[in-house]
């Protein structure tokens, strides 16, 4: 609105200057015409001068004053306040007597435009022609223009205001909705989404927010499931320890063999509890280790030999043949501890779920830009519906067997996280009752 009013004022001033100048030029032209014919009448009577002015048909609204070279008024068309025979010491007259054409305008009980030119006879200034005309009609016209400009400015300002309000609503409404949803989310209500309309930047922001909300819900669901599963797993050995301890305390004359048996069970449960805690700590470290890999060039053949050597006592105890097929030296840029743990967990899992007199075979080969480590067994296998779940934390295909072998349901999850930190993956092929085949795929990177 301020801009429009400033423009209106500028237009008014420009028009005023233009019209007043035009009026001044018109008076100067008339004054010069009179000045050109006056020398032949200037020495004659008032009647002669009046006759000359009459011949020029000058509008009666224009006041004509003629002076001699002393600024004495020889002729004045004004009926009121006639200046005849008086000295007319007006600034314009003084400048005209010096040989200059002068025109100006001013406000004096209404706008007036004046013009004065010298009367020159034989290169000598013999008098002045002074014309004065009211310019109130111009001012009235300009006032009318001013009212219309201000009216237009006001109407345009209102329209712009309405349009701005509408556009502001269109733009800010989605943002306000997003802010409200974010506040709800900050209060703990993570299941929040915004309605996305269009394809502009606000819509893109809404899509990104919905994806973030969905991801947060998934993380929260996993967190709750993890806490629930972890609590359940920890409660089981603790409950056993509590029952066994209470049983010992309630014995008045305990049999040492029974006490020894109970203490042995407590010891086993404590070990189980310790294993669960170790696995949980390892998962925590894996979750935060995305940028914390300690990469170095590792000979994968030697790493597999160490894994097999560590697990051979367990395999021998269960009368399972654990084989490592010969392979060439392959050096890969990895975090040795994490990959060792991943392979160890998968081989350990295969041994646990393979029956007595079974076989577990570990092999390795290069495939394109990857290194593949194959762990194959002829154990109980995995149902097709269970394959996608075996990498979930705390999930176990056979819970009774897992309890017998001390399984926690965390090993495969830890293995997959460790391999994926390296940009790899683990694929499973299995048939129930015939065994499983795990393919650990690691990108082949060297220093």
Question: Rounded distance, CA 409 to CA 391, Å?
Answer: 8
Question: Rounded distance, CA 242 to CA 54, Å?
Answer: 134
Task: State both tokens at 366.
Answer: 């290069």
Which comes out higher in pLDDT, residue 439 or 48? 439
In this model, does residue 55 exceed pLDDT 70?
no
User: Which of 305, 315, 422, 435 has the alpha carbon at shortest distance from 363?
Assistant: 305
Which comes out higher in pLDDT, residue 300 or 224? 300
Query: CA Rg, the chain, in Å?
Result: 54
Task: State both tokens at 178.
Answer: 């997003």
Question: Rounded distance, CA 163 to CA 209, Å?
Answer: 29
**What is the structure's pLDDT at 400?**
45
Residues 6+ apart with CB under 8 A from 93: 67, 71, 116, 128, 130
**What is the structure's pLDDT at 403?**
46
pLDDT in tens, 286-338: 555 544 677 889 999 999 998 999 888 888 888 999 999 877 888 999 988 88
Which comes out higher in pLDDT, residue 257 or 437? 437
- Report CA torsion sign: 224, 229, 230, 234: positive
**What is the structure's pLDDT at 47?**
66
Question: Rounded distance, CA 60 to CA 64, Å?
Answer: 9
Across 76-80, 269-273, 419-423, least confident range: 269-273
pLDDT in tens, 9-31: 888 888 888 888 888 888 898 88
pLDDT in tens, 122-132: 888 888 999 98
């Amino acid at each position: 609105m301020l801009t429009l009013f400033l423009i209106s004022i500028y237009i008014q001033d420009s028009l005023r200057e233009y019209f007043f100048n035009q009026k001044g030029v018109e008076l100067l032209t008339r004054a010069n015409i009179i000045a050109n014919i006056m020398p032949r009448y200037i020495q004659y009577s008032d009647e002669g001068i009046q006759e000359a002015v009459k011949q020029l048909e000058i509008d009666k609204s224009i006041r004509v004053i003629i002076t001699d070279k002393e600024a004495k008024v020889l002729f004045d068309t004004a009926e009121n306040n006639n200046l005849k025979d008086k000295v007319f010491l007006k600034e314009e007259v003084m400048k005209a007597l010096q040989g200059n054409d002068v025109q100006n305008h001013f406000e004096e009980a209404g706008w007036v435009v004046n013009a004065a030119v010298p009367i020159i006879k034989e290169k000598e200034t013999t008098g002045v022609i002074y014309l004065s005309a009211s310019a109130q009609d111009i001012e009235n016209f300009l006032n009318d223009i001013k009212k219309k400009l201000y009216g237009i400015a006001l109407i345009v300002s209102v329209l712009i205001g309405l349009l701005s309000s509408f556009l502001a609503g269109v733009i800010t409404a989605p943002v306000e909705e997003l802010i409200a949803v974010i506040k709800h989310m900050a209060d703990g209500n993570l299941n929040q989404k915004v309605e996305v309309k269009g394809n502009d930047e606000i819509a893109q922001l809404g899509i990104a927010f919905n994806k973030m909300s969905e991801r947060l819900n998934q993380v929260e669901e996993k967190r709750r499931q993890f806490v629930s599963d972890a609590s359940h797993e920890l409660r089981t050995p603790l409950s056993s320890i509590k029952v066994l301890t209470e049983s010992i305390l309630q014995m008045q004359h305990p049999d040492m063999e029974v006490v020894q048996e109970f203490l042995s069970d407590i010891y086993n449960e404590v070990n189980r509890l310790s294993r669960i805690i170790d696995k949980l700590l390892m998962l925590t470290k894996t979750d935060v280790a995305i940028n914390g890999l300690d990469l170095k060039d590792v000979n994968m053949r030697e790493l597999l030999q160490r894994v097999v050597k560590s697990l051979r006592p367990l395999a021998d105890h269960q009368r399972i043949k654990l084989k490592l097929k010969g392979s060439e030296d392959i050096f890969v840029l990895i975090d040795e501890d994490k990959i060792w743990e991943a392979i160890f967990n998968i081989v350990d899992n295969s041994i646990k779920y393979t029956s007595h007199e079974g076989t577990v075979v570990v092999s390795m080969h290069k495939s394109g830009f990857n290194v593949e480590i194959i762990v194959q067994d002829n154990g109980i296998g995995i149902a097709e519906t269970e394959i996608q779940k075996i990498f979930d934390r705390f999930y176990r295909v056979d819970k009774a067997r897992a309890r017998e072998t001390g399984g926690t349901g965390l090993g495969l999850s830890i293995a997959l996280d460790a391999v994926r930190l390296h940009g790899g993956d683990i694929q499973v092929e299995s048939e129930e009752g015939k065994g499983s085949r795990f393919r650990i795929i690691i990108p082949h990177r060297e220093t």
